[in-house]
Structure 1
Amino acid sequence: MSRPPAAAGSGARRTRCPRCGFPVLRQLVGRRAALDVTADAAELSAEAAEALHHPNRLHWCLRATRDGPEMRWADCRRRPETCPHPHVIDHECTGPPASPQRARTPPVPDGQLTL
């Protein structure tokens, strides 16, 4: 059985975090129930990424493809010293918190319906 062709632009995009400006990689990882992943662009060894890993911060195997870098689930967690690929870790933003949305006042007095 052959693997389905990858969709155009399915690899990781290099961009900057809108809050802190740190260089990151963005990608939908997975084929069915994909995760929208934002990871630090700094490449780490599998062992270093495993050391930074915790339940709310995953690490990803970064594979070089003909279309550019692609993040994949890090299946090498049992033996990270044998993985030849660089790894990246989820981005933890250190920028200022997003500004709260200002409450909009309705254009009519309380109790009056708008059409």
Structure 2
Amino acid sequence: MGRPPAAAGSGARRTRCPRCGSRVLRQLVGRRAALDVTADAGELTAAAAEALRHPNRLHWCLRQTRDGPDMRWADCRRRLDPCPHPHVIDHECTGPPPAPAQSSRSRSHRSTPVPDGQLTL
């Protein structure tokens, strides 16, 4: 029993990070509760990716399909032999933080007649 056929456009898209400009791969990974993954485009070995991994930075097994690259959960730690596929790791952006959104009209801040935290009726 194999994997069901992938939907059109379900593989990884090569793009650039909007903040830092690095080359990244973007994909929804998973069949049911998919994660929106942004990973560095640089390919690593499974061991090198595992060394960079931490609880908030996962690594992904990168398979080449007829439709292009496809990121999959890296469950290679359960294997006895090294994974033959390249791996990629979640992108940690080093760019400047995004600018806060500004409203089109400015609002003046009025003070309330009661202390902070107290509601008025």
Coarse TM-score class (shorter-chain normalised): 0.7 to 0.9
**TM-score, length of structure 1 as denominator length:** 0.85
Query: Superposition pairs for residues 1-115 of structure 1, below 5 Å?
Result: 3-79=3-79, 82-105=82-105
Deviation at 1:3, TM superposition (A): 3.9
Deviation at 1:82, TM superposition (A): 1.1
SS in 2 for 1:27: strand
Distance 1:5 1:41 in 2: 24
Structure 2: unaligned runs, 5 residues or longer: 111-121
SS in 2 for 1:82: coil
The C-alpha deviation readout for 1:81-107, integer Å capped at 9, x for no partner, is: 610000000000000000011144379
Deviation beyond 3 Å, 4+ runs, structure 1: 78-81, 103-107
Say which is worse superposed, 74-83 or 86-95, in terms of deviation. Answer: 74-83
Identical counterparts, % of pairs: 80
Structure 1: unaligned runs, 5 residues or longer: 111-115
The C-alpha deviation readout for 1:30-75, integer Å capped at 9, x for no partner, is: 0110000000000000000000000000000000101001000001
Please say which structure displays the higher CA radius of gyration. Answer: 2
